[in-house]
Amino acid sequence: MNTIRKLAAIDIGSNAVRLLISSVIKRPNDILYKKISLVRVPLRLGEDVFSKGKLSKKSIKKLGEALKAFKLLMILHKVDAFKAVATSAMREALNSSKIIDDIFKSHDILIDIISGKDEATIIANVFLNSKLNFSNHYLYVDVGGGSTELNIIIDDKIVKSKSFKIGTVRALKNNIDKNEWVSFENWIVENTVGKQNIIVIGSGGNASKILKISNKKTTEIIDYNELTGIENLIKNLNFNQRVADLQLNPDRADVIIPAIKIYLLAMSKCKSKSFIVPRIGLADGIIRNIDTINDYGQLLNG
């Protein structure tokens, strides 16, 4: 007999805030995670934090409004449990503790700030549990607005993980330390040396847009030259053309270029010629954790 629950994940990132609502259908031999609704609000919290060290009153107000709307959507969808997590921008915001307290008091939403390592592990585990049966060596690269999470996956296991303060919003603000780039490159080289035919997995909203532009299917290989060609295509279009011709959201049309740069750099440092996009992310991992880890999620009180 099948059992069905509705679960939700709120991902408070540096470039956007997302709500994912999914049905979890437990069948006799497996579990099906079916997406019901995905709502994305482009708040770009990282612009405040990476330049001023904290969230402005205006950004705090917008975040509260977004979370209020998310809770209403969860109530309407009759969600059983949910989890709200925050990543790089909130990790670094000097006023994050007060914001979290205020939001809990106002909206009964408890925000959990997760570490870069936890973020990387949650995302990579979704890939490992996706039953795609890949047997290669992988470098999993999740590019966000404030940070990039790396995972080395060998024999269906995460053997190394690292988070770097390298992200697309930071790049637009010229707020990435040169030493962080050096550390990023060295970490990849040191952890992939001697490994052959590495496949780079691209994760994050920009990766999904790259896949769409490439006209490839999910997990179909995009080679290094093809990805370079996509980068040149986008660079040769002005902002309005990217929105109109490539159908990129305005808040995606600028950050996609530094995202591709990060993916290409990762590929070059591990000598990979293959890039795939499985279209899974942090919110997918949060949903699975709610389903499998006791007391991980928060019950929805309407």
Show pLDDT as tens, one digit a residue, over the chain (302 residues): 668 899 999 999 999 999 999 999 988 888 888 999 999 999 999 999 998 999 999 999 999 999 999 999 999 999 999 999 999 999 999 999 999 999 999 999 999 999 888 888 888 788 777 655 556 789 999 999 999 999 998 877 888 999 999 999 999 988 999 999 999 999 999 999 988 889 999 988 899 999 999 999 887 999 999 999 999 999 999 999 999 999 999 999 999 999 999 999 999 999 999 999 988 889 999 999 999 998 999 998 75
| Token pair of 38 as six digits | 């995905």
Predicted confidence at residue 302, as pLDDT, reads 55
Annotated domain spans of the chain: 3-115+283-299, 131-279
Residue listed under structure tokens 């969230």: 55
Say yes or no: do domains 3-115+283-299 and 131-279 share a fold: yes
The CATH classification number of 131-279 equals: 3.30.420.150
Q: Helix 57-76 crosses helix 96-107 at what angle (to 10 degrees)?
A: 40
Residue listed under structure tokens 């808040």: 251
Residue listed under structure tokens 């408890």: 110
Predicted confidence at residue 124, as pLDDT, reads 79
Separation CA 244–CA 210 (nearest Å): 16
Predicted confidence at residue 203, as pLDDT, reads 87
Predicted confidence at residue 233, as pLDDT, reads 97
Q: Could you tell me where the beta strands, DSSP code E, fall in the chain? A: 3-12, 17-26, 31-41, 81-86, 111-113, 138-143, 148-154, 157-164, 199-203, 222-223, 274-276, 298-299
Predicted confidence at residue 301, as pLDDT, reads 73
The secondary structure of residue 114, as a DSSP letter, is P
* 215: three-class secondary structure by DSSP: coil
109, 10 contact by CB (below 8 A): yes
> What's the whole-model pTM score?
0.89
| Of residues 256, 258, 93, the one with CA closest to residue 166 | 258
112, 85 contact by CB (below 8 A): yes
Predicted confidence at residue 31, as pLDDT, reads 85
The CATH classification number of 3-115+283-299 equals: 3.30.420.40
